[in-house]
């Protein structure tokens, strides 16, 4: 989204982060400004070693899966608020978000569309609400690192944001060599690339291994697909000034280190993510779009990572990676004009994993939406009320 709030603490968290480093679970060390709990400690903890957190609360999981199946026909796949809300115009349809022009503000609606491989794959029940509420939680928790563009959230699927000039670069931050898409770090590394987006990568790494340090791998925001770009190329192409690039790069690395710390304290590993930034009318650089969601990020279960890695198995993931892998096994998602329909069980499992992530990170209960009222009607009513009071 074109916009998108901090944990005031008694001590300066950035100072604490700068003076610490990550542990060494795979004979490598991530130098970063955060001091999270050691992954190895979580792996050996009696309270976490018995079963995967994804299935530990079987009753809750079953309740969510039932609710997801019941909501399959009521997903928010398309919106048309420009027809139902006075004062809205110029709808822009992204892969997941629909953005409406409200003069000095933008109305960003997070739908249930699921994208990967630069295309929409399916609609996932409750996904839009999960992403919006997850981002809002992180926006609030990261104000000590950077301001953001959030004004209000009048609906669980909606954020009203400040208008800003968006930098045409996505700042991808990575802590591990992994992934399955054409631009993922493991894909390019496995092809022999050792200098990627200005980062020199060591020889001898294997899939899902920690990097020696967190790295930035920016991409340009192309129409059809993202294109990797180095910092030097960003300047040469005139996409950002050197001062803008330096400030945004610093913010992105600090956000990621803080995100890794919070995730690990809650039994998860924040593997990689992407950030977007914009500049307000007063020149302030702001965090926009989404933050640390299961759409923009990879998350793994911390207590099983070392065991899975040492066995050469894929880590337990809490994001859309398993959906990506299913499509790669059943079609060519980049070239096939028509893709197979994602199995219902897979769609519902993804809904559960997204809700699990939200509840695990925020330590709160996800509120399933009431099914009596169509989602679009509810959003229209809430947005109309919010805009009339701005």
- Range from 49-53, 135-139, 343-347 carrying the lowest mean pLDDT: 49-53
In the prediction, which pLDDT does 322 show?
Answer: 81
Residue 27 has pLDDT above 60, yes or no: no
In the prediction, which pLDDT does 55 show?
Answer: 83
Residues whose CB is less than 8 angstroms from the CB of residue 382 and which lie 6 or more positions away in sequence, other chains included: 154, 155, 158
pLDDT tens sequence across 296-350: 999 999 999 999 999 999 999 998 888 888 888 899 888 888 888 889 999 999 9
Task: Name the pTM for this structure.
Answer: 0.85
In the prediction, which pLDDT does 51 show?
Answer: 67
Residues whose CB is less than 8 angstroms from the CB of residue 22 and which lie 6 or more positions away in sequence, other chains included: 29, 30, 31, 32, 34, 36, 260
- Range from 160-164, 192-196, 217-221 carrying the lowest mean pLDDT: 217-221
* Tokens linked to 257: 């280190």
In the prediction, which pLDDT does 272 show?
Answer: 97
Query: Which of the 8 DSSP states describes residue 125?
Result: T
How deeply is 87 buried, as exposed, middle or buried, from its count of CB atoms within 10 A (0-12, 13-18, 19+)? middle
Q: Please report the DSSP string for 341-390 in residue order.
A: PPPHHHHHHHHHHHHHHHHHHHTS---PPPSSS-HHHHHHHHHHHHHHH-
* Residues written for the chain: 390
CB 98 within 8 A of CB 50: no
Which one has a higher pLDDT value, 186 or 27? 186
Query: Which of the 8 DSSP states describes residue 319?
Result: S
In the prediction, which pLDDT does 19 show?
Answer: 36
Residue 210 CA to residue 147 CA, distance in Å, equals 30
Residue 181 has pLDDT above 90, yes or no: no
Which one, of 114, 102, 90, lies nearest residue 152 by Cα? 102
Residue 2 has pLDDT above 80, yes or no: no
Report residue 9's pLDDT band, with 50, 70 and 90 as the boundaries. very low
In the prediction, which pLDDT does 242 show?
Answer: 98
In the prediction, which pLDDT does 10 show?
Answer: 34
Mean pLDDT of the chain: 86
pLDDT tens sequence across 349-387: 999 999 999 999 999 999 998 767 889 999 999 999 999
In the prediction, which pLDDT does 224 show?
Answer: 64
Domain spanning 66-388: which CATH class is it, in words? Answer: alpha beta
Residue 68 has pLDDT above 80, yes or no: yes
Q: Please report the DSSP string for 50-80 in residue order.
A: SS-HHHHSHHHHHHHHHHHHHTGGG------
284: alpha, beta or left? (left if phi > 0; alpha if psi -120 to 50): beta
Residue 61 CA to residue 52 CA, distance in Å, equals 12
Residue 47 CA to residue 34 CA, distance in Å, equals 24
Residue 31 CA to residue 184 CA, distance in Å, equals 21
Residue 251 has pLDDT above 70, yes or no: yes
In the chain, where are the structural domains located? 66-388
């Amino acid at each position: 989204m074109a916009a998108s709030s901090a944990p005031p603490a008694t001590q300066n968290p950035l100072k604490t982060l700068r003076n610490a480093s990550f542990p060494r679970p795979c004979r490598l060390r991530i130098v970063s400004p955060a001091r999270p709990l050691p992954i190895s400690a979580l792996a050996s903890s009696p309270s976490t070693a018995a079963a995967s957190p994804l299935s530990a609360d079987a009753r809750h999981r079953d309740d969510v899966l039932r609710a997801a199946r019941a909501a399959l026909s009521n997903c928010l796949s398309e919106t048309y608020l420009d027809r139902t809300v006075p004062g809205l115009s110029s709808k822009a349809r992204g892969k997941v978000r629909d953005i409406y022009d409200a003069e000095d503000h933008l109305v960003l609606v997070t739908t249930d569309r699921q994208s990967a491989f630069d295309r929409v794959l399916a609609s996932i029940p409750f996904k839009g609400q999960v992403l919006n509420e997850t981002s809002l939680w992180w926006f609030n928790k990261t104000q000590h690192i950077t301001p953001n563009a959030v004004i209000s959230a009048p609906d669980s699927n909606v954020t009203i944001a400040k208008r800003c000039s968006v930098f045409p670069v996505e700042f991808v931050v990575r802590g591990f060599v992994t992934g399955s898409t054409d631009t993922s770090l493991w894909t390019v590394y496995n092809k022999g690339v050792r200098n990627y987006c200005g980062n020199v990568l060591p020889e001898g790494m294997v899939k899902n291994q920690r990097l020696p340090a967190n790295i930035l791998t920016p991409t340009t925001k192309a129409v059809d697909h993202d294109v990797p770009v180095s910092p030097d190329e960003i300047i040469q192409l005139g996409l950002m000034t050197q001062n803008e690039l330096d400030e945004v790069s610093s913010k992105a690395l600090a956000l990621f280190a803080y995100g890794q710390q919070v995730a690990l304290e809650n039994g998860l590993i924040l593997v990689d993510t992407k950030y977007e930034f914009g500049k307000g009318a007063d020149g302030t650089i702001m965090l926009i779009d989404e933050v640390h969601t299961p759409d923009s990020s990879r998350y793994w279960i911390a207590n099983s990572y070392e065991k899975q890695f040492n066995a050469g198995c894929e880590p337990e993931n809490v994001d859309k990676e398993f959906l990506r892998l299913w499509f790669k096994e059943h079609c060519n998602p980049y070239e096939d004009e028509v893709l197979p329909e994602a199995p219902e069980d897979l769609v519902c499992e993804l809904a559960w994993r997204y809700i699990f992530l939200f509840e695990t990170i925020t330590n709160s209960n996800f509120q399933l939406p009431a099914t009596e009222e169509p989602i679009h009607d509810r959003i229209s009513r809430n947005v109309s009320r919010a805009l009339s009071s701005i």
